[in-house]
Structures are given as C-alpha cells and as structure tokens.
Amino acid sequence: MQRAHFVTENSDIHFGRFDGFSWIRFSGKGNYLSSPAVKQCAEEMLQTGERCIVIDLEACTGMDSTFMGMLAGLSLRLTKQNGGGRLEIARANEKNLQSLEDLGIDAFMEINPADATWNQDIARIEAAMQPWGRAGKPDMRERGRMVLEAHKTLSAASEENAKKFASVVNLLEKELGPEP
C-alpha cells in the first residue's frame, strides 16, 4: 500500500522490520510536528506485537520536549503492553543524549547500547530500510492532545519536570477540555 509522505519539509522517516526488533530512522528536527508521524509508525509495529523498537537518531538534528515525551510514552507503552518490551535509541549524538538526560527520561530507554544485537548489522539494516509516511496531517486538536500527552509523560518522570511543564499542561488542558 502506497502512503502519502507527511512529516515536515525538513524531516524524514524510514523503517524496517528485522529478526527481534523494528528500526525507525528519523531525520530532521524531532518536534511537535514530526512526533505524530514517528509515533504512528511505532504504533503500527506495536500492533503487530513488536517487543523491541529501535529509534535511530543519527540524523536527528535536535529534539523538543514533545518529541522526547513521545519517546518516553512509547517506551512505557512497550514495557507494559508487549510483555516487557523495550525502546532502544541508536546513534544518539551528544546533544540528543544530553537532552534525554536533562529530562531524566534516559532511564526509560536503552541509549546507544553497546551489547545490542543490531550493532554489528547497521549496514544491512540501512540497506533494507523503506520510506514511511503518513496519509494526511493531524488536525490541531489531535496534535494538541499529543503534545499534552507527551508533557504529562515528562511531568510524571520527575518532580522537576512536573514544575517545568506545569504551565504547558495546565494551558493545554484548559484549551482542549476533557478527553472524549
């Protein structure tokens, strides 16, 4: 099935399914615009019972709090839903690693794991990747709900995060109203 490609003008998603894990390579700025597409790609893998999802950040130029909250939520969902699954972050540069550590969400995922089975197979993985796209653009309400969910996840991670993101969470809850 052919899908229309939508993330942002400066971002790109490729994916692949391999023995024991699925791989998502994200390029560009990880932000509130690209988060819905990355999340939807990962959710497709979760629906098939995937237990290990690897997010490749080698070409990710930076991440905002929404993107990092989406990653943390994905990691928690993998752990709960798929029988002790896990999220692994591959090839995170110092800037992205520092961003994840600053919010304390590095504890939810394995970052650049030295003992990962895929470490010796990067060339084969890259050669087998396929473009992934999302048909249509999420509406503003859907995007707002995702931003709220991401910031609630970050807030639950630590008291410091809860203080840092309290105004964002309160504003979005007020604007979006109760969930349907």
- Strands 130-131 and 21-30, how do they pair? unpaired
Burial 53-91 (b: 16+ CB within 10 A, else e): bbbbbeebbebbbbbbbbbbbbbbbbbeebeebbbbbbb
CA 109 – CA 116 distance, rounded (Å): 13
Q: What pLDDT does 81 receive? A: 77
Q: How far apart are CA 44 and CA 118, in angstroms?
A: 21
**What's this model's pTM, rounded to 2 decimal places?**
0.89
Q: What is the pLDDT of residue 134?
A: 60
What number of other Cβ atoms are within 10 A of residue 123's Cβ? 8
Architecture of domain 12-137: 2-Layer Sandwich (3.30)
The ranges of the chain with pLDDT < 50 are: 1-10, 135
Residue at 46: amino acid letter = L
Q: For 129-147, what is each residue's pLDDT tens digit?
A: 999 876 456 788 888 999 9
